[in-house]
Structure 1
């Protein structure tokens, strides 16, 4: 026994120094195991065969990022998503395989690590773990990583708006393991997608599928983008974890088994921005916290249940302790409100595999957002008359979606439906300046909506799998008004075609009509009489027609070159009755959009072309180059097409990441964004004392909407990573430097009242007897070299149980 114990300890120690990849290969639509399938680690000599239960295990790889390839006679070759493995974090990979419908001679389509589907043969991009972990300048923020891909615009401001192919930031939808989440960012702009920091913990994410068009029919209520975030599963053998000190927050993630059928993963993050911003004297102090979890129960080979949760608490205070604030600091203190948000999503996905090559998903979820903000003139809360804004609203949704997927003889059929109960509450008080007089709005609202929809999609291969065709439709409605209640009025057909000219070259096409509800803020808006104004005016669904064509060329399975052209039209877009501006042009700032009277007659269009080159020859090199030429225009009050707020014209992103020996990695990203349109100020109106005091910032001159344009913006980001792999834990360090050459991006000018020597605002009384401030303009730029250091530690529970001795 004394001789045996040291040998056992040595064996365990050696095991702890070997990476482990476990997984399972199975039929995609029946969940039946595939025995004796061949599983290979790409770009290595490692591999394994599956056992009778479809399971495999691979030992001995160097730590790093990998993909697996599974092959078996009678099935299509399948690639896994990219995953990371080290000594402290074993990997578990599932590989669903589809039956090869036909054997044919003319063309053998090459499998690729850049996947596509029958429903979306184009406009689909997959973001892998390597892109998430190593993207320069993103600091592992998923929202910023999304902005690196073709068709997605970025701005010089500290925001994560999701702007796809010239559409507004309210036109995309986000799904987490099939459960819709309403908010992607902390401090979200209600009614849109923006915010400064992503809400999803990147340690959870296995991959992201990003659709810029050709949306699957089971993903509704989107006009420009659909994002599916696939989460990792918890470790099935032992407890593992990751501790992170990031650029703006601290995080802890734990995952492991609860029992032999159940795994979990959980994380909590807290920011320390309030502390940093206070030290450097910024006029605002944000704090955010978020929590995320996933547990999966595999009851048996035919039934599983996934439960997810995501929540955030965001607090935004003013730094009123700044001594002698400068003009820019005082301007920000005077116009930014105090804001607090919290939100959560809870969801459950029950999956059942049927006997006839099909499976069903039952998706239940609830989400809620509470958004409050208030503002007092000169931040003086001692007088009630100083109150400018007092806003509080709740959005809650209870959702159910059923979807059935069947695949047989080269055909795929998806069908199902959704039913939702939404509630919107709002208590609003705000001052405004309309028609040259002070206006006060005060109302309470409570709106319940029943939302319903059905969908179906059929896909099939023709001509020995040269041609893949997919046709789909969905219909949506809700009980808000007669303009929206009939689903036939929201009939949404779509068609996708993909033709293989050779084993390397494909022609792709899609067209479709898509519908989206206006934001809840528009559903619940009331005037001072308590009337639901937008119900009376007949607000309707927004309509967008897409026409997309593209070419895809694959030199080999590790490279991809695509060219896509797109043309989108918009109809029935909500247009502000107050300023005749489409809501598509709003949402670029913090706060709320849509909380106003609108009419549903807005028209617009977006068109352009995308070029993408992706090259991953091995695990040491990753190259992504994309260019988008895009024009985005909406009809103005004079019935003329004018550039929208997102008409950047040119989007260029170049990312190169190179791995070296001994755990070193270096990456660089350069991006160029054409100058965005901007609207000149109405300085005459802004100078009126009563007008200025309603918002403490200038009014825009909407008669000259977007007639000016900012300068183009460009930036270089660099990142250096070092990973140190030890027996039971891994240390990962990174240095991320944003805006290396300190480019100063142009923003809209700051306008503020001039003051005398005593700090009092100068007021001039005009011949019309109206008091006006004497205003001055300050050039406004943003940009600084921003280095940040990240520390991540992966660790694994290590013990030898007594009953094993």
Structure 2
């Protein structure tokens, strides 16, 4: 018996302390043609005196077994190509590390001198010259305060403001977040966030999960010609394939939901794979724990995604390309019942004089085919369908007044006489999309890319409302129902483009392109030629300077075209209404950027960029006013302008600094700073601060990884990260008291709009991440302590009747928000 017990203890002991290892595998391909590079050598160079390695086969595939878990450095080389050095590759016991690596052909075909490939942070897109950065899934998970979302992670980059705790809107260089373009697999997608509002690109929670992405690109200006219909920035997301050799699972539970991921081979012989995810969240945990999320309502949401990948072979066994079926989507619901709240309760997600019921749905699904036609040419084509729906209704609350004329309160609740339906809207925007592109490498110095993006839109906008009018010293009156939207129509958006990149010398590179934009909704939305150009010069001592310029255009928020406005000759809200905005043209913008880069040692770099942006053809109201479409896109409400014309302008300029140490020696840091000025002109001709003209933004992030095990046999680690953010406050103006009381919402005096500024935004975040690697299993416990100091940052002014008779309330952003999760990969 003692022998059996000793044997059992030995087995258990071995299981607990056996050195956890994992496989590293993938493909090595040409960066432009995607052709497999046979004979490429792959080495893990930081695992001892004899680094493990492999040689790519005829299909470019490689496999390295027995790689110790932890952070590793991978070196790839092949004759005729620049070497690639990949730092900070995470190897976990519970999941294979799959690295598909693209190599750039050396200009000198003899390649007798080793040239290092682009380093961490440089964009994947070979046409990008300035204002572009690659971001990794590891970064999105590692940054404090990012909550595992690409958008919140990007707010740490230079030139980007993320100063709204309730939303993940991306404000780039003072532009509206509505100017940001989201793309997946070459297709423009709808707003990929839960609780999305028409005309916006952000929201409280992202539908896209980091665990479905591979390394992707983020652009903040002067982006290449293939990116149309955007004037502020671009998220170019890449979806990853599932593991085609081994079934893997991931389960996660936390405050933001419970989610699972399954991936593995459909056929090991054919090399096909699947990847499926699902998440469900009901934020009752926050309510139970007494954590303030800005409302007493309990939001709920769910989302899912899938990707099926199939290598295609000819009858003779030759490579015929790859097909991927993919999709993702989500639905979200929230009922904000002001009638059931206490007087002291706050609500930053809606109006405070009504019960609000809201549901949103978003989906994208598509099929992608790609093939290396030969050693010089690569084809990629995608067909997709997408849609988004917003369904809302409001019930106005008639609050009883006391003898003193002030709202009557009993048991800390307002006394409600009745609830009356005043709003019902259903907005649907469906789209069929096609994208095709061809990369052709003329020679090692010259690369040509051409393509076409086409979208067929189907619009269905319906909205009915009745206004509650509050004359002075009288009972509020409800006007008859009025239709503001009633539209069923369609339109086509076409964007052909061509791009050329030339290495004029070994140190001088030119990138140039042309694109065009045509929107069939009217005869004013056509931009025949939009040039883009960039030039980069390599300098001694690992320095380079870059310049770029380009013309960009964008269609307007779709629902804004069809709003039925009040005739200019009438002050009545009950007369005939006309859809006067359907003739709006494209908003346009010239971007000019200059940049200086320098590597400060092996794992550190400094980057300085200066830019000027001129915006024109901006929709503003026909009558004299301060309204501009440049101030929209970052709220939980729609816009209701009168007749709009493309006569407004704007201008943004500034300078940005980035100092970054990539993860090495167990730590990293990122410091970014921006000084800028963003102003616009409405139809009144007055040059004003835009809503997003914070004038400065500063971020400082640092993280340290502590390896807790005493040796490689027990690889446990603790990551401790912190982030500090400081951003200038949003602009607003004096409130028009009479107009606000009549409209039952905050109305700012038009002539003095944006002459006042809220206090600066400050936030300090801390993230703790403990990882335990055992044989074939990885446990992760993490907590993201958002706004750990509980700093009160002003969000906006809201209309909220108070017991003292006042109605203006200053709303604050979220306070301390702990986001906890536990994840197991196996």
Residues 746, 106 of structure 1: CA spacing in aligned structure 2 closer, same or farther, 3 A cutoff? same
Q: Does 1:101 align with 2:135?
A: no
Q: Does 1:545 align with 2:590?
A: yes
Q: Does 1:266 align with 2:276?
A: yes
Residues 265, 753 of structure 1: CA spacing in aligned structure 2 closer, same or farther, 3 A cutoff? same
Residues 444, 710 of structure 1: CA spacing in aligned structure 2 closer, same or farther, 3 A cutoff? same
Residues 189, 21 of structure 1: CA spacing in aligned structure 2 closer, same or farther, 3 A cutoff? same
Of 559, 562, 567, the match for 1:521 = 559
Residues 32, 119 of structure 1: CA spacing in aligned structure 2 closer, same or farther, 3 A cutoff? closer
Residues 732, 593 of structure 1: CA spacing in aligned structure 2 closer, same or farther, 3 A cutoff? same
Measure the CA separation in 1 of the matches of 2:681 and 2:214.
41
Measure the CA separation in 2 of the matches of 1:42 and 1:521.
55
Of 454, 465, 474, the match for 1:419 = 454
Residues 555, 385 of structure 1: CA spacing in aligned structure 2 closer, same or farther, 3 A cutoff? closer
Measure the CA separation in 2 of the matches of 1:685 and 1:9.
75
Q: CA deviation at 1:159?
A: 1.0
- 1:411-445 Cα offsets, whole Å, 9 max, x none, are 11011112221011111112458999979640411
Are 1:658 and 1:666, in contact at CA under 8 Å, matched by a contact in 2? yes
Of 348, 369, 374, the match for 2:388 = 369
In the other structure, the counterpart of 1:48 is 53
Query: Is the deviation greater in 349-358 or in 102-111?
Result: 102-111
Are 1:39 and 1:71, in contact at CA under 8 Å, matched by a contact in 2? yes
Measure the CA separation in 2 of the matches of 1:127 and 1:430.
44
Alignment of 1:554-565 (within 5 A): 554-565=599-610
2:564 partner SS? coil
Query: Is the deviation greater in 651-660 or in 437-446?
Result: 437-446
Residues 685, 327 of structure 1: CA spacing in aligned structure 2 closer, same or farther, 3 A cutoff? farther
Query: Is the deviation greater in 642-651 or in 64-73?
Result: 64-73
Are 1:285 and 1:317, in contact at CA under 8 Å, matched by a contact in 2? yes
Q: Does 1:684 align with 2:703?
A: no
2:178 partner SS? coil
Alignment of 1:119-268 (within 5 A): 119-260=127-268, 261-268=271-278
In the other structure, the counterpart of 2:421 is 387
Q: CA deviation at 1:319?
A: 4.2
2:703 partner SS? strand
Residues 126, 32 of structure 1: CA spacing in aligned structure 2 closer, same or farther, 3 A cutoff? closer
In the other structure, the counterpart of 1:764 is none
In the other structure, the counterpart of 1:303 is 321
Q: What are structure 2's unaligned runs of at least 5 residues?
A: 1-7, 314-318, 400-415, 472-476, 566-574, 709-716
Of 723, 746, 750, the match for 2:794 = 746
- 1:590-624 Cα offsets, whole Å, 9 max, x none, are 13347764221110011101101111252622211
Measure the CA separation in 2 of the matches of 1:209 and 1:124.
7
- 1:221-263 Cα offsets, whole Å, 9 max, x none, are 1101111122222112121111111331111011111113211
1:276 partner SS? helix
Residues 111, 396 of structure 1: CA spacing in aligned structure 2 closer, same or farther, 3 A cutoff? closer
Measure the CA separation in 2 of the matches of 1:440 and 1:597.
21
Residues 16, 366 of structure 1: CA spacing in aligned structure 2 closer, same or farther, 3 A cutoff? farther
Q: What are structure 1's unaligned runs of at least 5 residues?
A: 1-5, 757-773, 796-805
Are 1:522 and 1:596, in contact at CA under 8 Å, matched by a contact in 2? no
Are 2:697 and 2:726, in contact at CA under 8 Å, matched by a contact in 1? yes
Q: CA deviation at 1:177?
A: 3.2
Measure the CA separation in 2 of the matches of 1:329 and 1:551.
45
Residues 257, 110 of structure 1: CA spacing in aligned structure 2 closer, same or farther, 3 A cutoff? closer
Q: CA deviation at 1:680?
A: 2.2
- Number of matched pairs: 760
In the other structure, the counterpart of 2:515 is 474
Q: CA deviation at 1:34?
A: 2.5
1:378 partner SS? strand
In the other structure, the counterpart of 2:543 is 505
In the other structure, the counterpart of 2:494 is 452
Q: Does 1:461 align with 2:503?
A: yes
1:369 partner SS? strand
Alignment of 1:54-65 (within 5 A): 54-65=60-71
Query: Is the deviation greater in 256-265 or in 631-640?
Result: 631-640
Of 650, 660, 669, the match for 2:723 = 669
Measure the CA separation in 2 of the matches of 1:106 and 1:791.
48
In the other structure, the counterpart of 1:766 is none
Measure the CA separation in 1 of the matches of 2:105 and 2:346.
63
Of 86, 91, 94, the match for 2:97 = 91
1:522 partner SS? helix
Measure the CA separation in 2 of the matches of 1:656 and 1:639.
45
Q: Does 1:112 align with 2:119?
A: yes
TM-score normalised by length of structure 2: 0.86
Are 2:33 and 2:378, in contact at CA under 8 Å, matched by a contact in 1? yes
Q: CA deviation at 1:82?
A: 6.0
Residues 318, 47 of structure 1: CA spacing in aligned structure 2 closer, same or farther, 3 A cutoff? same
- 1:422-477 Cα offsets, whole Å, 9 max, x none, are 011111112458999979640411121022121001110112x2110011000111
In the other structure, the counterpart of 2:714 is none
Of 700, 718, 722, the match for 2:748 = 700
Alignment of 1:552-631 (within 5 A): 552-577=597-622, 580-593=626-639, 597-616=643-662, 618=664, 620-631=666-677
In the other structure, the counterpart of 1:360 is 379
2:43 partner SS? strand
Of 315, 339, 342, the match for 2:361 = 342
RMSD over aligned Cα, in angstroms?
3.1
Are 1:83 and 1:206, in contact at CA under 8 Å, matched by a contact in 2? no
Are 2:337 and 2:356, in contact at CA under 8 Å, matched by a contact in 1? no
Q: CA deviation at 1:782?
A: 3.4
- 1:674-732 Cα offsets, whole Å, 9 max, x none, are 122112211122234xx32xxxx322222211110011111111111111112232110
Query: Is the deviation greater in 544-553 or in 136-145?
Result: 136-145
Q: CA deviation at 1:265?
A: 1.0
2:157 partner SS? coil
Q: Does 1:634 align with 2:680?
A: yes
Residues 499, 342 of structure 1: CA spacing in aligned structure 2 closer, same or farther, 3 A cutoff? same
Q: CA deviation at 1:333?
A: 4.5
Q: CA deviation at 1:657?
A: 1.1
In the other structure, the counterpart of 2:3 is none
Q: Does 1:401 align with 2:401?
A: no
In the other structure, the counterpart of 1:800 is none
- 1:642-689 Cα offsets, whole Å, 9 max, x none, are 10010011111111111111211111111111122112211122234x
In the other structure, the counterpart of 1:765 is none
Are 2:299 and 2:334, in contact at CA under 8 Å, matched by a contact in 1? yes
In the other structure, the counterpart of 1:759 is none
In the other structure, the counterpart of 2:25 is 22
Q: CA deviation at 1:295?
A: 1.6
- 1:257-282 Cα offsets, whole Å, 9 max, x none, are 11132111110111121453377494
Are 1:677 and 1:706, in contact at CA under 8 Å, matched by a contact in 2? yes
In the other structure, the counterpart of 1:801 is none
Are 2:181 and 2:235, in contact at CA under 8 Å, matched by a contact in 1? yes
Residues 787, 294 of structure 1: CA spacing in aligned structure 2 closer, same or farther, 3 A cutoff? same
Measure the CA separation in 2 of the matches of 1:368 and 1:531.
27
Residues 49, 360 of structure 1: CA spacing in aligned structure 2 closer, same or farther, 3 A cutoff? same
In the other structure, the counterpart of 2:817 is 786
Measure the CA separation in 1 of the matches of 2:501 and 2:607.
23
In the other structure, the counterpart of 2:411 is none
2:309 partner SS? strand
In the other structure, the counterpart of 1:770 is none
Residues 490, 67 of structure 1: CA spacing in aligned structure 2 closer, same or farther, 3 A cutoff? farther
In the other structure, the counterpart of 1:775 is 806
Of 280, 283, 289, the match for 2:296 = 283
Measure the CA separation in 1 of the matches of 2:236 and 2:276.
20
